[in-house]
Amino acid sequence: MHGMTLTQKILAAHAGLDKVEPGQLIMANVDLVLGNDVTAPVAIQEFRRMGASKVFDRKKIALVPDHFTPNKDIKSAEQCKIVREFAYEMGIENYFEVGQMGIEHALIPEKGLVVPGDLVIGADSHTCTYGALGAFSTGVGSTDMAAAMATGQAWFKVPEAIKFVLKGQLKKWVSGKDVILQIIGMIGVDGALYKSMEFTGEGLASLSMDDRFTIANMAIEAGAKNGIFDVDEKTLEYVKVHSKRDFKIYKADEDAAYSKVLEIDLSNIPLTVAFPHLPSNIRTFDEISDIPIDQVVIGSCTNGRLSDLRVAAQIMKGHKVHPRVRAIVIPATQKIYLEAMKEGLLEIFIEAGAVVSTPTCGPCLGGHMGILAKGERAVATTNRNFVGRMGHVESEVYIASPAVAAASAITGKISSPEEVMK
């Protein structure tokens, strides 16, 4: 007999079992059910079809209209109205209206709605972001969301795990975004299919919470069920600031079984760009020639946090956005927007010739606020670059860190920060 991984321990605890095995089907209690303006309306329709009349817990559901908001057209206005009316009718405490809201996966941790040891499901594939806090967190379909809103439970197949042992620390300008792009490049977009990606090792201490959120956020881009980090001092510090809830810290057993163990030396991670049309199609700057671009997007649930904006501002300060480039900066939450304003970051962006938007997922999923025309190229701090992701099927998205995106906005081509900060 072998022990359990971190993910397996959380699942077992929430299923009321002493032990779970990979492949086992379980029913587990959830601590939070999340939906947005695209996925919640479908869930609400299913919820009513089930004949449910009330939600299992008004505190444990979060509804965040962030994709097509502020309403971009009549259809998105209708979607948001369904969510809003449901939230009022059910007395849901964590409904975040425009003006309160942010991009869900930046907002939920900021509001302290997830703590270590939680089991969270969300009708959005990037729900895996909260694994940075040592919680089990994964994306589900709208029907699963509906059932969980009614019952407080969801079914899971217990995943195997890949263990990533981190050591060393990142070089200047290199970030969590580069780490996860390198990992996806190494294992492929289905390299962790239905597995948990578990991050541990002494290198963890050098990664900021924002770096961890970015890494966990893109676990899904390797096909993973979830990404999860060991809880350490930095996690506890973050939780203390953001949440008043009690929590439980789980640790993987020493004798837990992993499908593979990979060692990652953070000091060897280079600045990395994912070329079209897959997050795994990675290149480093020794392989990148002059590629002119039309647009830069700095934001999203992957890289719209304060530290991301600080890095971008540091590079853009005193420079001008290239005349042929449209640079769009989207702070991920109202709080981040306000702090960026107080720190003078927004002023730097606007003086450089970038546009700053209210929090929204915006162009990341081809929604609004920066859609690409045929043949256009964008460097974006988002998480996906599939065909047509940000607009026309013949447009191209290059995924990079805020440092690379900011530098590229200034030079008008895919560039490293060193090229600007000479």
Q: Which residue positions form the known binding site for [4Fe-4S] cluster?
A: 301, 361, 364
CB 200 within 8 A of CB 163: yes
State the Cα–Cα distance between residues 97 and 87, nearest whole angstrom. Answer: 10
Q: What angle do CA 397, 386, 412 make, to 5 degrees?
A: 5
CB atoms within 10 A of CB 189: 17
Contact call for residues 336 and 305 (beta carbons, < 8 A): yes
> Rounded to the nearest 5 degrees, what angle is found at the Cα of 75, between the Cα atoms of 72 and 79?
95
Q: How many CB atoms are closer than 10 A to CB 166? A: 24
Could you tell me if 219 and 213 are in contact, meaning their C-beta atoms sit under 8 angstroms apart? no
Q: What is the separation of C-alpha 82 from the centre of its chain, rounded to a whole number of angstroms? A: 25
Positive or negative, the CA dihedral 309, 310, 314, 317 is positive
The token duo for 1 is 């007999």
Known binding positions: 301, 361, 364
Contact 366, 345 (CB under 8 A): no
* Cis omega (within 30 of 0) for bond into 105: no
Residue 42 to residue 142: CA distance in whole angstroms: 6
Please tell me whether the peptide bond between 70 and the residue prior to it is cis, using omega within 30 degrees of 0: yes
Rg over alpha carbons for the chain, rounded to the nearest Å, is 21
Chain centroid to CA 94: 19
DSSP 84-105: HHHHHHHT-TEE--TTT-B-HH
Three-class DSSP category at 167: strand
Axis crossing angle, helix 345-352 with helix 334-342, rounded to the nearest 10:
80
339: which 2 tokens?
């702090």
Ordered DSSP codes for 276-298? TT-TT-EEEGGG----B-SEEEE
DSSP per-residue codes, 256-279: B--SEEEEEEGGGPPPEEEPTT-T
